[in-house]
A and B are shown apart, each in its own frame.
Chain A
Amino acid sequence: DQQVKQNSPSLSVQEGRISILNCDYTNSMFDYFLWYKKYPAEGPTFLISISSIKDKNEDGRFTVFLNKSAKHLSLHIVPSQPGDSAVYFCAASRSNAGKSTFGDGTTLTVKP
C-alpha cells in the first residue's frame, strides 16, 4: 500500500512560468508534509514543509498548499528557473513515528 503518491513522473515548464507539483496521501494520521529536491548524484535536500494545522506555507519562490479534506498537497515554484530542474520528492510523517514516507518523485525540467 503506497501511502504517498506523486502521479506525475515528470513535468516540463518554461523558465519564468509556474511549476506545480502534486502529491496525494492516504493516511490521515500524517501531521507533517515535506518536499525534498534531488539533483543527480546527490542526496535529497529539504526544500519546504507544512504542518497539518496549516493550509499554506511560503518560502521565497516556493509555496506548499495542503488540502486535508482531499488528502492532497502541491508545491508551487514561481517563477521557475533552469536551476530548479531536479527530482522533487514529497514526504509525509507522523511526529511520533520517527520516519517519513516518500512519494515516487517527479522530475521537473525547466527550459530556458
Chain B
Amino acid sequence: DTAVSQTPKYLVTQMGNDKSIKCEQNLGHDTMYWYKQDSKKFLKIMFSYNNKELIINETVPNRFSPKSPDKAHLNLHINSLELGDSAVYFCASSQAGGARGNEQFFGPGTRLTVL
C-alpha cells in the first residue's frame, strides 16, 4: 500500500488556469505538508497542516490555497497559474513526537508544467 499518494503525477496546463493537486496519506499521521522543488532542486516548504489546521504558511502567493478536509488529506489548489509555478510539488506527512525527530514520509511528487 502506498503510504503517501499524490494525483496527478504529471500536470501540464496553460498560464492563467486553475488546477488542483490531491494528496492522501494512510499512515495515520497528524501533520501534512506541501513542498515545492524548483528547477535548482531546492526543496522549500510551502504549508503545513496539523489535525486539519494550518500551522505553517511560508511566503507563498495567495494564489496557492491548501485545503485539508480531514487528517488524511491535504490538497493544493493553485489559481491563475504562472510560468514560475512550474516545479515538482511534494506532499509529505509526519507524526508529531516521532522518535526520529519529525521524520517525514513523502509522496512521489507532481510535476507541474505551465505553458
Contact = CB atoms under 8 A, between A and B. Distances in A.
A100 B106 contact: no
Interface in B29-60: 31, 33, 40-45, 48, 50, 55-56
Interface residues of B, number: 27
Given A42-B109, A43-B4, A43-B107, A99 B42 contact: no
Interface of A, helix, strand, loop or mixed by DSSP: strand
A94 B102 CA distance: 8
A84 interface: no
B64 interface: no
A31 B97 CA distance: 13
A44 B108 CA distance: 8
B103 A34 contact: yes
B56 A44 contact: no
Given A43-B4, A104-B41, A105-B43, A95 B106 contact: no
B12 interface: no
A98 B105 contact: no
A41 B110 CA distance: 9
A63 interface: no
A33 B101 contact: yes
A81 interface: no
Contact of B109 (A32, A41, A89, A98): A41
A99 B50 CA distance: 11
